Amino acid sequence: MDSKNGFQYSMSGFIDYTPCFGEYDLVWTICGCFIFIGTLISYQPQNAAILISRSNYGINPFMIFITNLGQGLVFFNIIALHASDFAGLFMRKTGDPHHNLKVLSTFLTVCNMAMDWYTYKFVYVLNFIFIDQEPRLKRGTKSIQREKFFSRFFYGISILIEMIVFAVYMLIGTQIGFQSKAMRKFAQVCSVLSACCFAIQYLPQMFTTCSLKDRGSYSLVTLGILLFGTMINFAFMFFGQGEDWTTILPVGVTIIEQLILFVICVYFMIVKKRNKIIELGKSNPSFDSIADAQAFESNNNSTNSSEKVNVEVDEDSPKDSEYHSQDTSSDSSHLPINNNTHKYT
C-alpha cells in the first residue's frame, strides 16, 4: 500500500521510494499469486461458450458494459493510490535480500485488478462480434435489433469513458500532483462509481435469465470461479494487503451480486432439467415415477454418447454403394463415395 512517501517528505532531490515496499506475508503473497492465475483462466469458459455456440444468447449487453466499466474504475482507483509504489518500482534497496518479494507483494493487488479488467475485455469483444440473431419464442425480431444496437452502442461508449477517465487521471497527476489531495479524491470518486456499477452490474443479467428462464450462453463455470476468486481476493486485500476501503468496497458488493446470480442460474438449470424429465414421463406412460423417467433419460444420454456409426468403403467400390451403419435399428442409405475410406458418425 502507498505509504505517502514522496517529494514533500524528502530533504533532498534524490528521493528513496523503497520504503513504500514494507513487510510482506509469504502466505498472503502466495495466495495473491494464485488469485492472479485464477483470474487469468476464470473467463476462459465464458469465451469458449460464446465461441462454440457462436452466439451471445442469454448474455445481457448492459451487464457486460457495466462490469467492464466497474473494473476499469477500480483499476484507476488503485493506480491513483499507488503513485509512490510505481516510482519505487525502478529502485532497489541495497542489502535487502527480500526486496523483490516485497515489490511482488505490494503490486499483487494492482496486477490482479489489471488482469481482471484485461481478461474480461475478451468477453466484451466476443459479445460484440457474436450477436445472436436467431428469433426465439421469447425473443422476437425487435428484441434482436435492440440488442444489436445496444451491444455496439455500449462498446463505443465504454471506450470513450475509459479515455476520459484516463485523461482526468493524467491531468490531475501532471498539473496538481500524483500524491495530491485531488488525486486521492479522484480515487474515492472512482471507488464510489465502481461500487455503484457493481451494485447493478448483474441486475440486467438476472432480468434476462429470469425472463428467458434459461442461462443461455452464460457460463455457470465462469461465474462459479469468479465467485470463489472474488471471495479470496476480498480476504487478500482486506487482511493481507490492508488496502484502502475505497478499493475493497466494490469487491464486497460484487460478491453479493455474483452469489445472487449464481443461485438464480442454478435454480433455472434444475427447473429446466426437471421439466424435461416430466415431459419424458408424460410421453412414456410406462414410467411409474419421475425417478424412473430420470433414470431412463440418464441411461439414454450415456447410450447416445457411446454409439458411433462407422462405414468403411473399399477403393474399388462403385460410386453409388449401399452402406449399413453399425446400429442395427437404422435403415441402410446410399451415399456418394469420393475417398478411399469414410467414417460417418
For the segment 235-243, the average pLDDT, to the nearest whole number, is: 76
Is 80 exceeded by the pLDDT of residue 65?
A: yes
pLDDT tens-digit series, residues 3-33: 444 444 444 556 777 777 777 778 888 888 8
Look at residue 282 in the predicted model and tell me its pLDDT.
66
Q: Which residues contact 66 (CB under 8 A, 6 or more apart)?
A: 197, 200, 201, 204
- Using one digit for the tens of pLDDT, what is the confidence trace for 254-310? 888 888 888 888 888 888 888 777 777 666 655 555 555 555 555 555 554 444 434
Q: pLDDT at position 281, please? A: 65
Amino acid of residue 62: F
Alpha-helical segments (H) within the chain: 26-42, 44-53, 61-81, 83-88, 99-129, 141-175, 181-200, 203-212, 220-235, 245-283, 290-306
First to last CA, the chain: 59
Is the torsion defined by CA of 220, 222, 225, 230 positive or negative?
negative
Over the chain, what is the mean pLDDT? 74
Distances (CA, A) of 191 to 94, 123, 157, 182, 242: 36, 23, 20, 14, 16
CA dihedral 88, 89, 92, 96 (to 10 degrees): 90
Whether 73 and 191 have beta carbons less than 8 Å apart is answered as yes
pLDDT of residue 171: 94
Q: Interior CA angle at 271 toward 269 and 275, to 5°? A: 120
pLDDT tens readout for residues 43-53: 888 888 888 88
- For 79-119, the pLDDT digits (tens) are 888 887 887 777 777 777 777 888 888 888 888 888 888 88
The three grid cell numbers given for residue 187, joined into one nine-digit string: 480515487
121: which 3 cell numbers? 475485455
Dump the DSSP string for 51-102.
HHHT--TT--HHHHHHHHHHHHHHHHHHHHH-HHHHHHTT---TT-TTHHHH
> pLDDT tens for residues 217-236?
677 787 888 888 888 878 87
Helix axes 44-53, 220-235, angle to 10 degrees: 160
pLDDT by residue (tens digit) across 170-225?
999 999 988 888 998 998 899 888 888 877 877 877 887 787 777 776 777 878 88
| Residue type present at position 258 | Q
Half-sphere exposure of residue 214: CA atoms within 13 angstroms, side-chain side: 13
SS3 337: coil
SS3 42: helix
The separation between CA 315 and the C-alpha centre of its own chain, rounded to angstroms, equals: 51
Rounded CA-CA distance 134/86 in Å is 49
User: 297: burial class by Cβ within 10 Å (0-12, 13-18, 19+)?
Assistant: middle
From the CB of residue 157, how many other CB atoms can be counted at a distance below 10 Å?
Answer: 13
Single pTM value for the model: 0.62
Going 288 to 294 to 298 to 301, the CA torsion angle's sign is: positive
